[in-house]
């Protein structure tokens, strides 16, 4: 079964698969440039603290045009997004909510944050990066499916990035970049803890009967290969491996029959979750139930359980949030995030990418305030990289943000958190699976995460690749 040759169809699967390795982004909100703020909200009406971070934004007297995009009164930040292609607004909404709240409380040491939404419309990553290189102080809280296309330009202009999510290896493993939210770290096997739990504890009978279906696009093929390597390292063996056309499938019966014929008990699906719902409808109609289906965390939305219909209960759909609080949580940090959205972007959906983006914004503001009058790119990068147990005020499991190789050191990047947390679909919506958490909302006892064979996937771009070094980064 071969994929459609339509480029847009191929790219649609690439865009929809951004989250499958915990490293991709879905999108941001439209617009080109805005100074965020809400007229009806004043600093006296809402706390400037977030979670356990204490005061995040406040009035101050920081001064100086210390870097591109920084003045006495403003800091100009770029937010990458594919919103013009996907029509999803997670990253733009997160930027609006955070900067409105921050600016209402006085900004970052008195400087207000101005946002440039860099809408790549999927294919325009490089064009938008060229603009960002001329205007922005840093990139914060965004992501693009084809982010690797702009990495060379970003490094050439020494523009630091603190994305919500990354996708392509060229960007994922690049210099001058720190991802504050839990995510895949290139060189370490993604979702290893989740796979180990599935195959050795929860459903050991499925270990030698794993299958994978992957959208036929360059991005998802690489991500799928990483998942196969990680699953095999956790003790799994594949009996079924197939691609589906990027344009979608009108009849999933041949795939469902193949899964049944091979006796697949655990299925990994990479691609559009709307297509997965159609496949599951056929499997359920055949009265074939798998032990588990990894629907990938791209499906973690309010619409997926509805799309599944009777399969929401007939099948066992699971996703690993990799250490961010579920949206259903009543923990104080999540409740505060919901309150901020209600105030500044009522009607906007809070999504997993939005939570990741908010983590980026929080650490940016904290670090920038610490830099004060000396707000330079190098100071910002150093302050963020010094966070050894970043929890975004309680929105996520603790992360060591030390940038590893990107800081000028040799060897591999800092090991990712060993924490994971699993959500399960039911006909009533999403609920926490029985994965035996041992540290609050997370489980963190399956470690260490093994190293991956990096040579199989290419490499990220470095400063040396563009004739630069950390000595040039000011």
Q: Which long-range contacts (CB under 8 A, 24 or more apart) does 462-471 make?
A: 462/155, 462/174, 462/175, 462/405, 462/406, 463/155, 463/175, 463/176, 465/152, 465/155, 466/152, 466/155, 466/156, 468/155, 468/156, 468/158, 469/408, 470/407, 470/408
Q: Which residue has the higher pLDDT, 177 or 26?
A: 177
Q: How many helices (H) and strands (E) does the chain have?
A: 15, 12
Cα 329 to chain centroid distance, Å, stands at 19
Domains of the chain from N-terminus onward: 7-187+329-414+460-472 (3.40.50.2300), 192-325+419-456 (3.40.50.2300)
pLDDT band at residue 242, thresholds of 50, 70 and 90?
Answer: very high
The pair of three-digit structure tokens given for residue 409, joined into one six-digit string: 């050191």
> pLDDT by residue (tens digit) across 128-149?
999 999 999 999 999 998 999 9
**Three-state SS sequence of 74-95:** EEEEEEEECHHHHCCCHHHHHH
Does the structure show a pLDDT above 50 at 221?
A: yes
Q: Omega into 448 within 30° of 0, i.e. cis?
A: yes
> pLDDT by residue (tens digit) across 244-255?
998 889 999 999
Q: Where are the alpha helices (DSSP H) in 234-331?
A: 253-261, 273-285, 303-308, 311-314
Please state, rounded to an integer, the average pLDDT across all residues of the chain: 88
Phi-psi category of 291—alpha, beta or left, where left has phi over 0 and alpha has psi -120 to 50? alpha
Does the structure show a pLDDT above 50 at 361?
A: yes
Residue 78: closest CA among 107, 112, 116: 116
Tell me the pTM. Answer: 0.89
Burial 204-213 (b: 16+ CB within 10 A, else e): eebbebbbbb
Tell me which of 101-105, 175-179, 450-454 is least confident. Answer: 450-454
């Amino acid at each position: 079964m071969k994929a459609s040759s339509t480029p847009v169809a191929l790219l649609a699967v690439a865009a929809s698969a951004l989250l499958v390795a915990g490293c991709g982004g879905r999108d941001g909100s439209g617009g080109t440039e805005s100074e965020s703020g809400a007229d009806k909200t004043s600093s006296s009406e809402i706390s400037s603290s977030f979670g356990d971070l204490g005061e995040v934004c406040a009035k101050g007297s920081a001064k100086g045009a210390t870097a591109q995009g920084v003045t006495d009164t403003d800091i100009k930040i770029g937010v990458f997004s594919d919103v013009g292609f996907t029509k999803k607004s997670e990253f733009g909404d997160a930027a609006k909510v955070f900067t409105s709240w921050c600016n209402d409380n006085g900004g970052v040491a008195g400087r207000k944050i101005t946002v440039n939404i860099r809408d790549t419309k999927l294919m325009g990553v490089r064009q938008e990066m060229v603009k960002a290189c001329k205007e922005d102080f840093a990139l914060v809280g965004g992501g693009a499916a084809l982010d690797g296309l702009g990495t060379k330009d970003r490094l050439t202009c020494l523009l630091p990035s603190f994305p919500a999510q990354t996708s392509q290896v060229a960007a994922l493993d690049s210099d001058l970049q720190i991802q504050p939210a839990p995510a895949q770290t290139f060189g370490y096997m993604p979702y290893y803890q989740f796979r180990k739990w599935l195959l050795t504890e929860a459903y050991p009978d499925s270990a030698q009967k794993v299958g994978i279906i992957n959208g036929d696009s360059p991005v998802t093929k690489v991500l799928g290969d990483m998942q196969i390597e990680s699953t095999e390292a956790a003790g799994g063996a594949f009996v079924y491996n197939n691609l589906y056309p990027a344009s979608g499938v009108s009849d999933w019966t041949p795939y469902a029959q193949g899964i049944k014929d091979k006796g697949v008990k655990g299925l990994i699906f990479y691609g559009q979750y709307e297509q997965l719902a159609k496949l599951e409808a056929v499997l359920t109609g055949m009265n074939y139930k798998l032990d588990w289906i990894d629907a990938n965390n791209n499906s973690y939305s309010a619409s997926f359980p509805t799309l599944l219909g009777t399969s929401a209960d007939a099948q066992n759909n699971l996703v690993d949030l990799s250490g961010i609080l579920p949206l259903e949580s009543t923990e104080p940090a999540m409740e505060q995030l919901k309150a901020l959205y209600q105030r500044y972007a009522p009607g906007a959906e809070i999504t997993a990418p939005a939570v990741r983006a908010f983590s980026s914004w929080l650490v940016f503001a904290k670090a920038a305030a610490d830099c004060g009058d000396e707000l330079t790119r190098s100071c910002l990068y150093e302050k963020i990289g010094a966070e050894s147990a970043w929890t975004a005020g309680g929105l996520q499991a603790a992360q060591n943000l030390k940038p590893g190789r990107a800081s000028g050191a040799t060897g591999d990047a800092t090991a990712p958190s060993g924490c994971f947390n699993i959500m399960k679909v039911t006909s009533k919506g999403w609920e926490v699976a029985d994965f035996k958490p041992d540290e609050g909302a997370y489980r963190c006892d399956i470690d260490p995460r093994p190293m991956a064979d990096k040579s199989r996937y290419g490499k990220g771009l470095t400063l040396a690749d563009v004739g630069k070094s950390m000595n040039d980064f000011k």
